[in-house]
Each structure stands twice: as structure tokens, then as C-alpha cells.
Amino acid sequence: MSVNKPLSQNDLPYAGIRVVEFTHMVMGPTCGMILADLGAEVIKVEPIDGDKTRNLIGSGAGFFPMFNRNKKSIAVDMKTPAGMELVRKLVSTADVLSENFKPGTMAKLGLDYETLKKINPKLIYVSHKGFLPGPYDHRTALDEVVQMMGGLAYMTGPEDRPLRAGSSVNDIMGGVFGAIGVMAALRQRELTDEGQEIQSSLFENNVFLVGQHMMQYAVTGKAAKPMPSRISAWAIYDVFEVANGEKIFLAVVTDTQWKIFCEAFGFADLYQDPALKLNNQRVQARSTLIPDIKNRLAQLTAKEITTIFEENGLPFAPITRPEQLFEDPHLIATGGLAPITLTDGPKAGTQTSTPLMPLMMNGKRLGIRLNPPKSGEQTQEILKELGYSEDDIRKLSSDGAIA
């Protein structure tokens, strides 16, 4: 399979749209990354010493390079009058402003929607917060906070042991919904010639993600069990330990797949058992059926089982660690990983690859046009575009208003 070439700038749907973002960490930057991948010019306004996300370690070390590709950076000291004047000029040219600071921060700077819409009535203003307006909106939220209070941690861990999901799911999805709001507002602006304010939030996003479990209770009258101890909708839907201690996830989710599974592995006795004929019967028999199948598969290797499942169109999955995905043959063959150069940290200057958005347009992937920017990398370029002369730029730099 040949690698899909990315779309060119001229083919991207939001080419010509300017986004100015005041964001950090994950939620706000995700929104900007999506719009940037779709062709928008996204200008990241950073503090004079750079976005602190650049220097995170541990689980935060991947935040900046993952969510800030295809963006430009301008580093400004917004505590100086000259810096604020520069920022206001920049915002006046924006189609979209994106921010994810604490409630009230942008208002203190005079950069809230009510102030800015007076000078730029077509501005679309998207705020990414912990909570939508209401009794909780004064609280400080994090992904883990809303996972705990929003039912996701309860559903992820074993009973009596809430466990956060293994990714920043609410931060990322909150940014996705922020971007969807921007897209909808851009379309509405075409019809009304007016901008609007959009709000996206972590908590409400988390509630949306667990909505299926809320509705399960509404339909059945029974509270959903955490995923490790839930009553599965399917009999075979589990991780199996096989030969050499390897583990593999296997699923048989229809009666047709049950027939195929039994024939492929020579389990005629199971298929002929009238007590296992239908899926719901097999679900009720899980306590004995799963140990039986685990015992039958125990001497086969994961590779042998993979071959049989793949040949017969049955669902399966290896248990993969994130770092192993850099070598995933499907991602490599389909162009799902794109090259970028790291700009911060001990490996600054190193080329690696990063996952692209999981979609294609016109048969092509949305690629990388710009590496994650160095702090202030495009400051001079953007200032010149705003009408600042070389002398103006030198003075701003010597005064410490820009970096």
C-alpha cells in the first residue's frame, strides 16, 4: 500500500482563517491544532519566556509537540503597554480567538469577548473551561478531577478503585468540541455576518462520554458496573493469556461470528451445544464458557490465534504499548504518522513522527506544514505584517516587550 500524500495548503478548508490562541497544556491547544491541521493560520501568543508546557516532564513531556504543530508563535510581555498594544492589533485581525485560562483572566487583560466584539464584531471567541456557567464554574478543574466526579474513573477501574483513563481524554475531547463549535460558528457567520462566543468544558464533556452508562441505567433500572466487572453485551469479549504468557484481546460478538469461531478452531462441541446457540445464552454462561475457552486456547501462540482470527474476519487486538505504535505497519503504510522536529527539551532538534488526525479528505491525510514552533519563532514575521517597522521591532525587543 502506498503512503497517502497530505493535502496541500490550497486544498485545506480553513485556509485563510486566522486563529489567535492564548492557550496552554492540552485542551485549548487541541482546538488550535485541529483548526491548524485543517488549514487555518494559528498564531500562538506565548509569555516572553515561553509557554510553560514546553518544559513539562513525565506524563506532560509530550503535550507541546503533540498539540502545537502547524502553528506559529509570537512571544510577548503582555504586562507592558507596548506588548498589550501589539496583542490588541493582532486580535483585531483574527477570525477566531481561542483561550483556556482561568475564568476572569482574559477580562482583566481587556481581552474578553464583550470587549473585543466591539472592535471586531465578526470575531468568533472560544473559551475552554473546566465547567460551563453554573454552580461549579468557580472550581479549578483538571482532566483527572472531572473523570472522578463525572463517573469515568468509576467506570474505568475495578469496583471500589476508581481509575483515571490512560489518556487526557477530556482535555482532548474538550478541544475537539471547541473546534466543532468554531466550525459551526464560521458557517453561521457566513449567514449572519456576525461572530459569537463559544464555550467548551471538561466536566460536561466527561458527562457526554459516560452518557451511554447513564442511559443504560435509564433503560434497565440497574446501575452500570465498572468496566472490569461489567456484564458484557457479548460472551467472548476479553483478554486471553495464551502460550508463552502472551496476552491478546479476542471478541466474538454475533451468532454468525460464533459459528465461524467454532469452525475455525474445531470447537464443534461448543457450536452444537443448544445452551450456547444464541449470544444472550452465551453471555449468561460466561462464568463457565470463558474459562473453558481460555483453557482451549492456552497452548496456541498469539501469532497463531491472530492468523486464524484475521483470516476469518473476527475481531482481535494485540496488547500494544504506546511507544510500539511508532513501528505499526498500518500507520506507516497509510501515512498515519508524519515527521516533525522537536523544538524543546533534551531532544530538541531531533526528528521523530507524530500521529495525524484520524480522518481523510479527498482520499488524503491532513499533514504537517509547520513543526511545533520555537517560542517566538514568528514574532518578527507577524509584527511586520501588522505594520511594525524594523526600528519598531528593535525597540520592542530592547524594551523587553517581545522575544
Residue recorded with cell 464560521: 186
For 9, other C-beta atoms within 10 Å of its C-beta total 12
Q: Helix, strand, or coil here: 97?
A: strand
Q: 164, 156 in Cβ contact below 8 A?
A: yes
Q: What is the per-residue DSSP string for 39-95?
A: T-EEEEEE-TT--GGGG--GGGTTHHHHH-TTEEEEEB-TTSHHHHHHHHHHHHT-S
C-alpha 21/C-alpha 375 separation (Å) is 14
| Helices 202-209 and 211-220: angle between axes, nearest 10 degrees | 50
Q: 56, 79 in Cβ contact below 8 A?
A: no
Collect all residues with Cβ–Cβ distance below 8 Å to 326 and sequence separation of at least 6. 337, 352, 353
C-alpha 121/C-alpha 114 separation (Å) is 10
Catalytic residue among 112, 171, 269, 392: 171
C-alpha 38/C-alpha 29 separation (Å) is 14
Which of 28, 352, 3 is closest to 182 using CA atoms?
28
Beta partners for 126? 98, 198
SS (H, E, C) 155-208: HHCCCCCCCCCCCCHHHHHHHHHHHHHHHHHHHHHHHHCCCEEEEEEHHHHHHH
Strand 196-201 relative to strand 124-129, pairing: parallel
C-alpha 400/C-alpha 403 separation (Å) is 7
Residue type, 252: V
Has 171 been annotated as catalytic?
A: yes
- Alpha-carbon dihedral of residues 300, 305, 307, 312, nearest 10 degrees? 130
Strands of 96-99's sheet in order across: 71-75, 41-46, 18-22, 96-99, 124-129, 196-201
Residues carrying an active site annotation: 171
